[in-house]
């Protein structure tokens, strides 16, 4: 049993918020009965659901791995008219959503899907899915400051969770450095704020890995479907995390 607005959104009717409005307007019927309360539980496999008298068809789940370029918004629309990630998709009929966010000026690996349950598990820090970033920063951090990044940095919204950090290379004569950070949280502009906090602002930032998934073979702006083997492995690892942490 799932919430009605979630089923409608997954069927591509509209966004979940818009689907809640359709329900409150009395435009949705379940098994011949008009439903006006969002949150009503339905069985999408058995219940007959109509919107404005037309039956919905549940979309097949889609899982996409996108190499997001800079200058693109991780959203489905932008009031300022800037490009959004779904503008990069061609031939994808299903209504997919980004899993987490990458800033406008951040590039790299981004998943998009219409599988809300899987998306929530990937994005939630309790499942400890590695999010690996490479950041060019100003100057050359000392080993002590790199260690601070790994052990936790005090930000305005609290101490960051422990992760991993290492210095990959420097540009002679020490004008900038390439750091690799592995985190599990998803705070707003987290990596940028962490680097700023240790005195080495980010010049450019890229997410290079999510769990075991990488950008291999994808240029900026390109995407591909996850393979069945990748999806099965992702589900296994999420299930293992859920058992380990009681999720």
Separation between Cα atoms, residue 187 and residue 232, nearest integer Å = 27
Separation between Cα atoms, residue 195 and residue 213, nearest integer Å = 24
Q: Are 89 and 222 in contact (CB under 8 A)?
A: no
Write the DSSP assignment of 34-84 as a string of letters.
EE--TT-EE-TTT--EEETTEE--PPPP-EEEEEEPTT-BSSS--TT---B
> 130 an active-site residue?
no
Q: Among residues 47, 103, 130, 216, which one is catalytic? A: 103
- Which residues are CB-neighbours of 111 under 8 A, at least 6 positions away? 63, 64, 65, 66, 98, 99, 100, 119, 122, 210, 213
Give the active site residues. Answer: 103
């Amino acid at each position: 049993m799932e919430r009605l607005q979630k089923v409608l959104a997954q069927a591509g009717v509209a966004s979940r918020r818009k689907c809640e409005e359709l329900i409150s307007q009395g435009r949705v019927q379940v098994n011949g009965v008009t439903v006006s309360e969002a949150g009503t539980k339905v069985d999408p496999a058995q219940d007959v659901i109509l919107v404005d008298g037309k039956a919905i068809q549940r979309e097949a789940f889609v899982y996409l791995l996108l190499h997001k370029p800079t200058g693109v918004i991780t959203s489905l629309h932008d009031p300022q008219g800037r490009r959004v990630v779904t503008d990069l998709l061609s031939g994808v009929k299903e209504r997919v959503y980004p899993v987490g966010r990458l800033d406008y000026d951040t590039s790299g690996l981004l998943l998009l899907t219409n599988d809300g349950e899987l998306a929530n598990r990937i994005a939630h820090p309790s499942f400890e899915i590695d999010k690996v970033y490479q950041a060019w920063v100003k100057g050359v951090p000392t080993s002590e400051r790199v260690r601070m990044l790994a052990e936790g940095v005090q930000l305005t919204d609290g101490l960051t969770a422990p992760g991993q950090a290492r210095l990959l290379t420097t540009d002679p004569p020490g004008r900038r450095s390439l750091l690799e950070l592995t985190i599990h949280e998803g705070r707003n502009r987290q990596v940028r704020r962490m680097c700023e906090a240790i005195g080495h602002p980010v010049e450019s930032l890229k997410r290079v890995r999510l769990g075991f998934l990488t950008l291999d073979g994808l240029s900026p702006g390109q995407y591909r479907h996850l393979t069945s083997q990748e999806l099965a492995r992702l589900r296994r690892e999420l299930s293992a995390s859920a058992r380990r942490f009681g999720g």
